[in-house]
Structure 1
Amino acid sequence: MKLNEYLEHDATGLASLVSAREVTAVELTRLAREAYDEVNPRINAVIEFYEDAETVPGADAGLFNGVPFLRKDLGAAEAGRLQERGSRLFKGLRSETDSNFYYRARAGGLRTLGRTTTPELGVSGMSETILNGITRNPWDLARTTGGSSSGAAAAVAAGITPIAHASDGGGSTRQPAAWCGLVGLNPSRGRTSSDPQFGLGREFVLCRTVRDMAAALDVFSGPSPGDPFIIVQPKRSYVEELSQPAGTQRIGVARTNWGSFETEPEIRQAVESVAALLEEMGHMVTDIERPYEPDECSRILLGKSDLGGGALEKAARSIGRSINQDTLEPVNLKLYEHSRRNLPLKYSGEVHEALRAMRLRVGEAIQAYDILLTPTMPSVALPHGGIYCATNPALSAEEWMDAEAAFYQYLGVFNITGQPSVSLPLAQSASGLPIGIQLVGRFGDEATLVRIARDLEEAQPWSKRRPEVRAGNS
């Protein structure tokens, strides 16, 4: 197989070739390395391509038999491998154990070849850090990929691997999917185990096709020991859902702003176009108003950050390091200092009550709908830097969270409710930048999202769109 052939296949397609003995896992690893060598110097998505990549383990079977994979440098861990969380505070540290996510990855046949960039501690949605520099968007090198799964998105968009690890605590899979022209699902809380911490975030993947998304759900779904609850399990595999009819769904369309950041006209038009397409498919489409008050999200996010400050301090102490301006970027240092000025144990109940109240408010507002249709982001990918970058010292902790809640107005709310949501690359701007459209399902109902996403991919395919920087182009 040559590089141009490798690039034409999604992960499911490559796995089928390995299973048919038309190519080997080692050959795919070498092609991924070739793609990395060609494009990574321009995009800075992969901070480490393993020296022993050709011998990494993976089951000689599974839905992703032999497929190259990359790990986000935050969240799910691999034993013995570096995990620096995009931060100078954790530079040089290695994980001691494998996470459940990586047991499942290997069982599914994935070969993890390296690790990708992430904003420091996953806090910012901009793809730059003091530790690792700027990760550039393959569609326009002057723009960010988003975050915090920044390197994963850039690597998949540029063709290094067809699929990569991502995680989403407030939009960190869906935002980079929208800005890099990818499929980015954040599953229901509990659909994938979090080893066994159940907060706002979920571990999953970024990929290019709906069938890869469905296969990844089959690979990574399921409980593990210690999980606080087990979500309702699917009636059939998600790959099987690809051949099931979508049925008639009640779809609520967000045509208004949910935050103070004004949605760009091209993105509004893209939502209108998809709504019209769904109506043509026979679904019942009606408008839905903003289901929450914007300041609810920012208060919750700041409260959750305060509750995490103690854990950060404990982690730093355990490795003998100090938290200061030499180890944390400006925004993260301000968030840490804000947590110290508060007493998390005293008001943790208030934070959890705010979470419960918001889940109830949103649940009541949207209960009449099977699917919600919203923009993923209110703008196309932004230029590097600016107020949303964690290296920017201009904002206070409170101002930062207000800005984040306004910008991620369609995303963080569904981390709080726990509902599954996916960004699909259904449109492009006049300048050629990807526009992501978000579908949100009922809690525990990824199956309906898979079927609707399949129909939209077939009706409005995106596979022929190519970014400016992609392996094989130069």
Structure 2
Amino acid sequence: MTEIWKMTLGQLTAGYASGALSPVDAAKAAFERIDKVNPAINAIFAPMPERALEAAVASEKRWRDGAALGPLDGVPMTIKDSVAMKGTPYVRGCAANLGNPLSTSDSPPVARIQEAGGVILAKTTMPDFGMFAAGVSSAHGTTRNPFNLAYNTGGSSSGGAASLAAGIGALTIGTDMAGSVRMPAAMCGLAGMKPTQGRVPHLPPSAVRSAGPLARNVKDMATFLTVLSGEDLRDFGSIPPEQRRYEDADPAQLKGMEIGLCLDAGFGCETEPEIREAILRVAREVEAAGAVIVPVDRLIEFDPSEALNKLFFLRSRLEYNAMPAEKRSLMLPYALQACEAAGEISAIDYASALEELEKAKAQMYRHFGRLQYMLTPASPVHGFPADDVGADTKSALRHTNFMSLVNQTGQPGAVVNCGMTAQNLPIGVQVIGRRFDDWGVVQLLAALETMLGATPDIAEPN
């Protein structure tokens, strides 16, 4: 029998229903796994064993009484530092926030998880304010990739991805503003999704940041997405749920489907040969299944990096301004420098950046007049050192070039594993769809997972 900490969501709930497994045993096994692997990967922040075991006991009774709340009831999982949960720390990766008051309310994702009976084990690490797609933090230290401890997890949902890939819990939730769910999911061999903007409500409301699910397979990810989706009046941008369950989406039938293939974002880091070849292999498999692959030269025709950086760093500057001046030096040096530089951005600079991004969004979305979906690398690089803020240490978001515009346009984007590098690091392929077609993106992702058979085993960090 598979060890309980290795089990998928479906295996766990089938065991609960039959009486062969207990949510209490699953929670205890998850904490044992934390004790075993977290010293190596440093992914867990604020474990909550008493609360988790209390939730597991309640779930066990519901399953025994035939009154389970649904497919997440009793399933152990983690949540990102920046996803507020009443009575827990809300540090957002920054040492200056250590010791701040605990959260006084639950964010929409936490409320949905608890309503569904999910067992929240702990919060997970992230970089300062989520400012970069890497696993380094002034509050938490360095989170390491469980497949190769010398390498980065990607970010900013770094701890969630690393812990899940190492067998801690069956699910985790992250947030994504420029690839922060998809990048660590890809770098840690997981399925992860940034849904259509508003599909999963989150706080504070944002036009570009979305909460999203990560799992070790597409079906579990889709099940989690169903639970998380739907309107919440606290998030004015949230949209009604689809009247169907994402886990019921069959793998897409690819025959005749026109799918774009883009290997050059037009800006940011250049796609490495090993990554390019891996994505080309995916395209050949998709084409062999009957799809029509349409080459896309580049996502857009100019470099919007400076405009993106201005918006991201100005957002973080607000948090910098709100903290006591004497605590600012506690920030990670890159984050501190970026926030200080953001103080020099004028209103005209900000307006110009917004205008430039409107042009970038228009160029990005024009591809989807003809195409329903597009395949791209998740990351253009195979990885980068664990202690670095990005593949380019002077411009920390350059390796998010295939992801960041998906947040700007509000489209759904999702990743699944498609191979391993020479350094034993996962390679992810990204699927981008039209706005509101989350169902179709899940279908195509499921088809790729089945076709490629590349889902890695749970990592044993050493």
1:328 is the counterpart of 2:331: yes
Once the two structures are superposed, residues 408-453 of structure 1 have per-residue CA deviations (whole angstroms, 9 ceiling, x without a partner) of 1101011111111111111112343211111111111011111111
For the pair 1:377 / 2:375, whether they are aligned, the reply is no
The answer to whether the aligner puts 1:455 opposite 2:447 as a matched pair is: yes
**Whole-angstrom distance in 1 between the partners of 2:329 and 2:252:** 54
Aligned to 2:34: 36
Superposed displacement of residue 247, structure 1: 6.3
Match of 1:163 among 140, 160, 171: 171
Q: How does 1:99-114 map to 2 (within 5 A)?
A: 99-114=107-122
Q: What is the distance in 1 between the residues matched to 2:212 and 2:248?
A: 19
What is aligned with 1:91?
98
Residue among 277, 280, 283 paired with 1:272 = 280
- Residues 70 and 112 of structure 1 are in contact (CA less than 8 Å); yes or no, is this contact kept in structure 2? yes
Report the AA paired with residue 42 of structure 1. A
Unaligned runs of 5+ in 1: none
Tell me how far apart the structure 2 counterparts of residues 265 and 244 of structure 1 sit (CA, whole Å): 29
Query: How many correspondences in the alignment?
Result: 451
Quickly say closer, same or farther: Cα 1:254–1:97, change in 2 above 3 A: same
1:235 is displaced (CA, Å) by: 4.6
Distance across 1 between alignment mates of 2:461 and 2:137: 21
CA positional deviation for 1:207: 0.8
The 5-angstrom pairing of residues 135-174 of structure 1 reads: 135-174=143-182
Paired with 1:301 and 1:12, the residues of 2 have a C-alpha distance of 41
Q: 1:266 touches 1:429 (CA, 8 Å); kept in 2?
A: yes
Instruction: Give the aligned partner of residue 49 of structure 1.
Output: 47
Query: Residues 94-138 of structure 1: CA distance to partner in whole angstroms, max 9, x if unpaired?
Result: 111111111111122211111111111111222122322221111
Residues 196 and 334 (structure 1), Cα distance of their counterparts in 2 relative to 1, 3 Å cut: closer
Q: For residues 30-75 of structure 1, give each alpha carbon's deviation from its aligned partner in whole angstroms, at most 9, with x where no partner exists.
A: 010111111111111112221413114776422211011111111x
**TM-score, with length taken from structure 2:** 0.91
In the TM superposition, what whole-angstrom CA distance separates every residue of 1:223-278 from its partner, at most 9, and x where no partner exists? 11144345464352212213775664210001335324221211111111111111
Q: Deviations over 1:386-421 (max 9, x none)?
A: 46289x7xx4xxxx3xx52x3211010111111111
Give the drift of 1:279.
1.0
1:416 corresponds to 2:416: no
In structure 2, what is the Cα distance between the partners aligned to 1:92 and 1:448? 44
Partner deviation per Cα, 1:123-175 (whole Å, 9 max, x = no partner): 12221223222211111111111111111111111101121121111111111
Q: CA RMSD in A?
A: 2.4
State yes or no: 1:79 paired with 2:86.
yes
Deviations 1:355-386 (A, max 9, x none): 33322221123421111000000112212234
CA spacing shift, 1:322–1:293, aligned 2, 3 Å? farther
1:68 and 2:76 matched: yes
Gaps of 5+ in 2: 60-67
> Would the alpha carbon gap of residues 202 and 323 (structure 1) be closer, same or farther in structure 2, given more than 3 Å must change?
farther
* Matched letter for residue 54 of structure 1: L
The alignment partner of 1:287 has SS state of strand
**How far apart, in 2, do the equivalents of 1:127 and 1:86 lie?**
10
Q: 1:95 to 1:435 in 2, by over 3 A?
A: same
Distance 1:323 1:220 in 2: 39
Secondary structure of the equivalent of 2:169? coil
